[in-house]
A and B are shown apart, each in its own frame.
Chain A
Amino acid sequence: MNKITNRQIACEVLAEHARTDRDIVVLCSDSRGSASLAPFAKEFPGQFVEVGIAEQDLVGIAAGLAKCGKKAYAASPASFVTTRSYEQAKVDCAYSNTNVKLIGISGGVSYGALGMSHHSAQDIAAMSAIPNMRVYLPSDRFQTRCLFEALLKDEKPAYIRLGRNAVEDVYEEGNVPFEMDKATVVTEGADALIVACGEMVKPARDAAALLKEQGVGATVLDMYCVKPLDAQGLLAAAKGKKLVVTVEEHSPFGGLGSMVSQVIGANDPKKVINLALPDAPVVTGNSRQVFEHYGLDAAGIAKTVRENI
């Protein structure tokens, strides 16, 4: 079982590049520990900005740095950086088109029993609704590395949600199919399409394995690029399938399910089921317990596919 978190990988990639690129600046809001960025802060004190518990300031400062040529990576809990500083993301990053990458750490229900204040089940909807803001939810540590390598090459704003806990590998070292803004086909089957993002990709893949044993073929699409959604890849994967199931660690409104439904509905109408968190504070528990409770684990996803195909 993998013990390395996606946030640790993000820190590693940023540190590797910061050694030769003095313009990479990381900002935290008393969140360097939670973000696994303490090693970065220690190694690059001149490229690290601590703003204290002040997310609006965090994002505004990041935009100002970016306007003056810096590659700004602002990391703060996803729940705060996407809503407390929502307007700074909208105006200072997206509208002003500054090279700010907002890293939402401990996304979704990562904080478990800490409750709704600390859960970010609205971040995909909120950030996707902003023109010129991209939204990425990498699935595992290998894809996280590819994504950050790609983000370092562009100069546009983006929001990246990372979970708190280590997640099992979806891909293998040395064999990570990745093309920026193109969904990745994880496994192929003939009957159903499961579209997932972030931490939901692994249970989706496991669900496909369960379904295979039961004689149901399922393709799993890793839609880490929720915005811009890879509509072409989605339609190609959905072609000929009887059913599409979306899986996300997010509110049922305005997230991956909504966006996939729009594309399928307009281009290849068929049944689409959206698996998501409820429109309510989630049950108290750790991520695994919460996912199981709402049918977002492998067994729950497989059951939904079987019942609707």
Chain B
Amino acid sequence: MRPILLQGHTRPLTQIKYNREGDLLFSVAKDKVVNAWYAHNGERLGTYDGHEGALFSVDVNSSTTMLVTGAADNTIRLWEVKTGKLLHTWKTNTSVKRVEFSKDDNYIVALTEKQMKFESEILIYKINDLGTPQPSSPVVSIFPHPSKATVVAWSYYNKYIIAAHEDGSVSLYDWHVSDPEKQLVKNVQVHSSSITDLQTSEDGTYFITAARDKAACLLDADNLDIIKKYSTDAALNTAAIVPDKDLIVLGGGQAASEVTTTSSRQGKFESRFYHKIFEHEVGRVKGHFGPINTVAVSPAGDSFSTGGEDGYVRVQFFDEDYHSFKFDF
């Protein structure tokens, strides 16, 4: 396969997201740009201009009408996908590390960084329909404990907020409860170092975590049981679940600060495919010359995209033999 290289960013990529049909791709990086791309040919549809700091996270709702972004300029911004118009800006105390639409598009969850005197905070906002004003204050705010949260996501039916922590643990928070003492439902130690990514399955019943301890884990969203564990030889930055095959994609590599001192081969900058059930590596794709920061698989299952520290987004369409590949057991 010949990948399509998207050069819309000048700084390391932080997150890429497909919309529900997989025809659009949204990318954010540590520059101030939010890009929208047509996934099938790599044509840039447009940019969402307005942020004044590095962006860390992006998400699109299921009807591809609204886009939410979180940035280091202490704002969460809501955009109209079609026109690039800014719909609403929420000010936060610190930089926003992660944003995500709930499964029913009615809420967004945002995670803010622990900075200065402010603690890390999980904020949930109600989202109104396009064309109506958005409420400015959060519905609920959760202070993650025991350790700082690095990633958050919604579980199925908006039941819980799943948070991954800096100490390698994963916790469930019941956001319907306002009493901070009772919000924490469960906390499980999964990894031995900071968790870098957390992506839920299509139905939200399980999710995958990637951590710097060179492992990725598949967890049950109900009780946080570790279903599968994938061990690699590289520190991981990101992990994604392939929707229509029993595969997962992992991306990572050595820390960005060490890249210049070693060859790209030793850096382990390939995206790796693991068998979801048998937990062993089945293939890898090279290409980036820096660590892979974010990976996304098209919901249509025909392509996957990686965003690297090198500032490139690579859209790879799977070959014929990928689709015909059957696992013998």
Indicate, yes or no, whether A interacts with B: no
Interface residues of A (CB under 8 A from B): none
